[in-house]
Structure 1
Amino acid sequence: MSASLTGRRVLVTAGPTFEDLDPVRFLGNRSSGKMGFAIAAAAQRAGADVVLVAGPVHLPTPAGVRRVDVRSAAQMHAAVFDALPADIYIGAAAVADFTPAQIAPSKIKKRPGEDGLDLHLVRTRDILADVAVANPRPQLVVGFAAETDDVDANARGKLAAKRVDLVAANRVGLKGSGFESDDNTLLVHDAAGHVQLGPASKAEIADRLVALVAARLSQESR
Structure 2
Amino acid sequence: FGSGPLLGKKILVTSGPTYEPIDPVRYIANRSSGAQGAAIGRALIAMGAEVIFITGPTSVPPPKGACITSVQTAQEMKDAVIAALPVDVAIFAAAVADWRVSTVSNKKLKKSIDGPPIIEFSENPDILACVAQMKKDRPSLVIGFAAETNTIVANATAKLQRKKCDWIVANDVSPETGIMGGLMNEITLISKTGAEAWPRMSKEDVAKQLAERVAKALC
Alignment TM class, shorter chain as reference: over 0.9
Please, what is the CA RMSD of the aligned residues?
1.1
- Number of equivalenced pairs: 215
8 Å Cα contact 2:6-2:49 kept in structure 1: yes
8 Å Cα contact 1:98-1:124 kept in structure 2: yes
**C-alpha distance in structure 2 between counterparts of 1:203 and 1:177, whole Å:** 16
Amino acid at match of 1:108: L
SS at match of 2:177: coil
Q: What do the CA deviations read for 1:167-198 (whole angstroms, capped 9, x no partner)? A: 00000022324210100011010011122233
Amino acid at match of 2:133: V
Q: Which residue of 1 aligns with 2:78?
A: 77
Matched, 1:6 2:13: no
TM-score of the pair, normalised by structure 2: 0.95
SS at match of 1:12: strand
**C-alpha distance in structure 1 between counterparts of 2:114 and 2:13, whole Å:** 47
Q: What do the CA deviations read for 1:51-89 (whole angstroms, capped 9, x no partner)? A: 100000012221211110000000000001111110000
Q: Which residue of 2 aligns with 1:30?
A: 31
Shift in Å, 1:136: 1.0
Q: Which residue of 2 aligns with 1:17?
A: 18
SS at match of 2:209: helix
Q: Which residue of 2 aligns with 1:130?
A: 130
Amino acid at match of 2:20: E
**C-alpha distance in structure 2 between counterparts of 1:124 and 1:157, whole Å:** 20
Amino acid at match of 1:15: G
**C-alpha distance in structure 2 between counterparts of 1:52 and 1:178, whole Å:** 22
Shift in Å, 1:133: 2.1
Shift in Å, 1:108: 0.4
Alignment of 1:124-203 (within 5 A): 124-134=124-134, 135-203=136-204
SS at match of 2:199: strand
Unaligned runs of 5+ residues in structure 1 are none
Amino acid at match of 2:132: A
Q: Which residue of 2 aligns with 1:208?
A: 209
Runs ≥4 residues deviating over 4 A: none
Amino acid at match of 1:9: K
Amino acid at match of 1:128: L
8 Å Cα contact 1:198-1:205 kept in structure 2: no
8 Å Cα contact 1:151-1:169 kept in structure 2: yes
TM-score of the pair, normalised by structure 1: 0.94
Q: What do the CA deviations read for 1:105-140 (whole angstroms, capped 9, x no partner)? A: 1000001241x3321000011000011123110000
Percent identical pairs in the alignment equals: 39
Unaligned runs of 5+ residues in structure 2 are none
**C-alpha distance in structure 2 between counterparts of 1:63 and 1:24, whole Å:** 31
SS at match of 1:103: coil
**C-alpha distance in structure 2 between counterparts of 1:191 and 1:175, whole Å:** 30
